Amino acid sequence: MHPLSISTPTPACRNNVLGNHDYRGNVEAQLSPILREMDPRWLCMRSFIVSTEFTEFFLVDTTPFVDEYFTQPKNSTYDWKGVLPREDYLSNLLKDLDSALRDSSAKWKIVVGHHTIKSAGQHGVTKELEEHLLPILLANNVDMYMNGHDHCLEHITIANNGSQTQFLTSGGGSKAWRGDIQKWNPEELKLYYDGQGFMSLQMTPTNADIVFYDVFGNVLHKWSISKDLDAAI
């Protein structure tokens, strides 16, 4: 069992969660505390929480959810030490996440994982996460889910019990300009950019400003969210 650990962020802390390519190497080496001794700004764990004054980030290990990596690994070799038996690992992770989200009094709740839940990109919707992770996010009124995996910049908005959940993909670091885009409801798909770029997020207790940029720093898309100061109290 790997419960959600609590992390207190340090200035310019680099918080990392494992992706599918990380599981193709020595996972324990990447999780080693020796790396943090070398650079205290580095933090990588399987699943953990970063708490700030008014926001909590719940970083989730999404790779073990994907059936294909177990049933059709092709030419890849995955390091599943610490994950097997898989059913127990995933069950504990989902229970821990649901409990942590329910107990959270943060004004903003943001879940971060490597894999997409909602995406019009090459990898598209991750069915396993849509089935097992998404209901927990919606039930706990999570404000945003952030991911990489698809090599694009993307913003999808899903209605949820009178509010909205934002699905934000920032994977435009490589393999750009593939031309891979799937059909999606235009009312939900606020941005799809196939090129390179990055995303920024600025937050206060009452406002969140999301901005997507291209590789030259030009603004591609802006989105602002507001909530009452006592919304999460």
Residue 10 has pLDDT above 70, yes or no: no
Name the catalytic one among 114, 123, 149, 151: 123
Residue 201 has pLDDT above 80, yes or no: yes
What does the block give as tokens for 115?
């894999």
Instruction: Write the pLDDT tens digit of every residue in 161-171.
Output: 888 999 999 99
Residue 13 has pLDDT above 80, yes or no: no
Dihedral sign computed on CA atoms, order 107, 9, 214, 145 = negative
Strand partners, 157: 166
* 123 belongs to the catalytic site: yes
Q: Which domains does the chain have, with CATH numbers?
A: 5-197 (3.60.21.10)
Instruction: Write the pLDDT tens digit of every residue in 70-96.
Output: 999 999 999 999 999 999 999 999 999
Give burial (CB, 10 Å; 0-12/13-18/19+) of 92: middle
- Residues 6 or more apart whose Cβ sits within 8 Å of residue 23: 63, 69, 78, 79, 80
Q: Are 132 and 165 in contact (CB under 8 A)?
A: no
Choice between 11 and 157, residue whose per-residue pLDDT is larger: 157
For residue 81, how many other CB atoms are within 10 A of its CB? 10
**Residue in 177, 217, 169 with CA at minimum distance from that of residue 197:** 217
**Torsion angle defined by CA atoms of residues 73, 75, 77 and 78, in that order, rounded to the nearest 10 degrees:** -30
